[in-house]
Amino acid sequence: MLRRSAVRSIHLAGTIWFILCLAYLLGLTLRQAGVRWWVVFSLSGHGLLITFILVSLYLFAIFRGISSSQNIHLEHPLTSTDYYTVFYVTTPFLGGLAGCLSMPGVSANTLQFLLAVALGTLGATFLVWVIVDPLAGVLEVALSPTARRHRAERLAQLRAAKQHQRKQQRMLLEKVLKEEELKRQQWQELLKPEAEKLAELLAAGPSRFEQARQQAIDIGLNAWRIGGLSCMRQLHEMAMDLCKRKRGDAECVDYISFWWDGVGSWRNPSLSKTAGA
């Protein structure tokens, strides 16, 4: 059994060699079309970045395929063998060698030799990686009943695993929601006296406004210690509901949001909107 690290290294080297040959052919074509060197280099800068991103994604997918191919050898009895893997990852080098051997050593000059090597690499790599390999994988599954059965079982297991994962996520979400609801119910009884005090403080006159503010801050700090920002929000809602029931919507001004600004992680909504604007 081949070592996966060796296969990945050879595949990486082959991909780099393929890119170099492709870049050589592109540069040669542009030069033959009369494009100046500085234009070629400027285009190659952007091209290298795009090529690096695409190759990184491609190698990630290929490496995952190489690492998992041994687990689905029943589906792919040919393309998962060591011999085929070596042939696949060395295809760029084999194509370059074929291009090298196709040139007569005496009559060929350097440019012709390099062109033949690059074309051999490009042709062989495209043929094997884009046409032969996908076609071989399809034929393996299509012609083998064992492969089809194994593929169906594997896909069924994947679907079952995804369903189990979704079920676990739903159960976790329901658990969190139940814990939140239970916590709110506990806070409802605990914060009721504090909410009544806050509702009374909202009705304080100008002479008692500063004293009311200080008392409201103390109440907010206590709520922050009990349950953080969520507890403060629930207490705020409870106090405002009590105030509106007693005095009506028009007479109930939300001073609590101003009083609590900076208490714990509480921020006055109007001030936050102003800062964001």
Q: What is the pLDDT of residues 64-83, one digit of tens each?
A: 444 444 446 777 777 778 88
Question: Is 169 within the bounds of a domain?
Answer: no
pLDDT of residue 136: 85
| Spatial distance between the Cα atoms of 71 and 112, rounded to a whole number of angstroms | 45
Question: Is 122 within the bounds of a domain?
Answer: yes
Contact 265, 226 (CB under 8 A): no
Q: Are residues 105 and 9 in the same domain?
A: yes
Q: Are residues 120 and 34 in the same domain?
A: yes
Q: Are residues 88 and 212 in the same domain?
A: no
Amino acid at 121: T
Asked if pLDDT for residue 60 goes beyond 80, the answer is no
Q: Are residues 101 and 21 in the same domain?
A: yes
pTM over 0.75: no
Q: Are residues 10 and 96 in the same domain?
A: yes
Residue 204: φ, ψ to 5°:
-65, 145
Question: Is 204 within the bounds of a domain?
Answer: yes
DSSP-derived secondary structure for 38-93:
HHHHHHHHHHHHHHHHHHHHHHHHHHHHHHHGGGGTTT-TTTTSHHHHHHHHTHHH
Domain count, the chain: 2
Task: Determine the 3-state secondary structure of 97 from DSSP.
Answer: helix
Q: Which domain holds residue 40?
A: 4-143
Compute, in degrees rounded to 10, the torsion defined by CA atoms 135, 140, 145, 150.
-100
pLDDT tens for 191-230 read 889 998 988 888 877 778 889 889 999 999 988 988 888 8
Q: How confident is the model at residue 54 (pLDDT cuts 50, 70, 90)?
A: low
| Spatial distance between the Cα atoms of 218 and 194, rounded to a whole number of angstroms | 10
